[in-house]
Amino acid sequence: MAVCLESGWELLENSEFILRRYREGTISLGYFGDSIGNSLGDILSCALGFMIARKLGFQWSLALFIVIEIALVIAIRDNLILSVVMLVHPVAAIKAWQMKGLH
């Protein structure tokens, strides 16, 4: 089920509608979509993540997710939560903060 969901997201993520949203609302100004290799890697990573989560259980999986999200915000000023927020409802302050990290 997770692989099907991720595969569907990969198709949607690389549609012209989503690509336009990324370019308009995020710092991904020159983003033209994922390569086939990147999409396959994302799908395999999703499957691996679900296998790990199954072994860890909900609480440890949630804790690991939070740690990874925080580490990504600190390291690269981006993560899954920020990507979803910026895709659904772009926030100028977040975009400005992320742009500071590019200099």
pLDDT for 24: 81
Decide if pLDDT at 103 tops 70: no
pLDDT for 22 equals: 82
For 58-101, write each residue's pLDDT tens digit: 999 999 999 999 999 999 999 999 999 998 999 999 999 998 97
Could you give the CA distance from residue 19 to residue 30 in angstroms, rounded to a whole number? 10
50's enclosing H/E stretch is helix 36-56
Residue whose C-alpha is closest to residue 87's, from 8, 34, 5, 12 = 12
Distance, in Å, from the CA atom of 33 to the CA atom of 14, rounded to the nearest integer, reads 5
Looking up tokens 């772009």, which residue turns up? 90
For the segment 21-61, what is each residue's pLDDT rounded down to a tens digit? 888 877 777 788 899 999 999 999 999 999 999 999 999 99
- CA distance linking residue 41 with residue 35, whole number of Å: 10
Q: What is the pLDDT of residue 3?
A: 82
In the chain, domain spans: 2-100
Can you give the pLDDT at residue 23? 84
15-25 mean pLDDT: 86
CB-facing half-sphere around the CA of 67: CA atoms within 13 A = 6
Contact between residue 16 and residue 22 where contact means Cβ atoms under 8 Å apart: no
Residue 2 has pLDDT above 80, yes or no: no
| One-letter identity of residue 88 | V
